[in-house]
Chain A
Amino acid sequence: GQNIDQPTEMTATEGAIVQINCTYQTSGFNGLFWYQQHAGEAPTFLSYNVLDGLEEKGRFSSFLSRSKGYSYLLLKELQMKDSASYLCAASFKAAGNKLTFGGGTRVLVKP
């Protein structure tokens, strides 16, 4: 299978840092996406990792370890507007160009 696992919910305080972990099965793995989705809206692209290491984009960073089947999304200097679901999605060679999504992590930012 191609199970994508991520925590269901996380709560953090405004201004803090939160790390959302995502694990996947390494067999046939191609690349990993992170999307942000606010309630009732479509997902918006945050990051794409193919190579090992950390990719930083402003307050958001994403990390990938291909050998460990592990990625995380790091949200820094949290703002109230960051309250949303964060979806981890992986592409696998055997699946062509399809993405397999994790269950999503709901992040609640409190004042």
Chain B
Amino acid sequence: GAVVSQHPSRVICKSGTSVKIECRSLDFQATTMFWYRQFPKQSLMLMATSNEGSKATYEQGVEKDKFLINHASLTLSTLTVTSAHPEDSSFYICSAQTPGLAGDEQFFGPGTRLTVL
């Protein structure tokens, strides 16, 4: 149980285009989803916290107009990287959490490798 999927797993796009990444909790309802970014050989950096039906809370230094997050249902959150640039190339990972399911544990998706040319 507690499976989280991400789509796509890998995307290559041209500079200036927008890319949408989907995060789904497959067998549970996630009240909260988190979006992380990870650069090579570095740890996970939290970008934003997304609660179903409300606006996402962004971490300091993360541009909310560039990284659009929508959490329209209890099983789906999307991250859209708008006007992507090469410096946005990274590994983007989502996680899902719900009260009563293993405490504060976050269940991670498999990640999306974004390469911006």
Q: A residues within 8 Å of B by Cβ? A: 30-31, 33, 35, 40-45, 48, 50, 85, 87, 91, 96-104, 106
Q: Which residues of A contact B102 (CB under 8 A)?
A: 48
Establish whether residues A42 and B110, one from each chain, have CB atoms under 8 Å apart when the complex forms. Answer: yes
- How far does the alpha carbon of A103 sit from the alpha carbon of B49 in the complex, in Å? 20
What is the count of residue pairs linking A and B with beta-carbon distances less than 8 angstroms?
A: 54
Q: Is B44 an interface residue (CB 8 A)?
A: yes
Interface residues of B in 27-45 (CB under 8 A from A): 32, 34, 41-45
Residue contact B105 to A41, C-beta cutoff 8 Å? no
Interface residue tally for chain B (C-beta within 8 Å): 23
Least CB separation from B113: chain A residue: A40
CB contact list, B18-71 vs A, under 8 A: 32, 34, 41-46, 49
- The answer to whether A30 and B104 touch across the interface, beta carbons within 8 angstroms, is yes
Could you say which of B41, B104, B109 contacts A99, with CB atoms under 8 Å apart? B104
CA distance A104 to B43 in the complex (A): 6
B106 sits at the interface (CB 8 A): yes
- A97 contacts B108, CB within 8 Å? no
CB distance from B26 to the nearest CB of A (A): 14
Least Cβ distance of A30 to chain B in Å?
Answer: 7
With a CB–CB cut-off of 8 A, which chain A residues contact B43?
A: 85, 87, 101-104
Q: List 22 A-B contacts (CB under 8 A).
A: A30-B104, A40-B91, A40-B111, A41-B110, A41-B111, A42-B110, A43-B93, A43-B108, A45-B105, A45-B107, A48-B102, A48-B104, A48-B105, A85-B43, A87-B44, A91-B104, A97-B49, A97-B104, A98-B34, A98-B49, A101-B46, A103-B42
Supposing A40-B91, A40-B113, A42-B110 touch, asked if A98 and B105 sit within 8 A by C-beta, the answer is: no
User: Which one of A33, A85, A103 contacts B105 once the chains associate, using CB atoms below 8 Å?
Assistant: A33
Q: Is the CB of A97 within 8 A of B42?
A: no
The answer to whether A97 touches B93, judged by C-beta atoms less than 8 angstroms apart, is: no
Min Cβ gap B113→A in Å is: 7
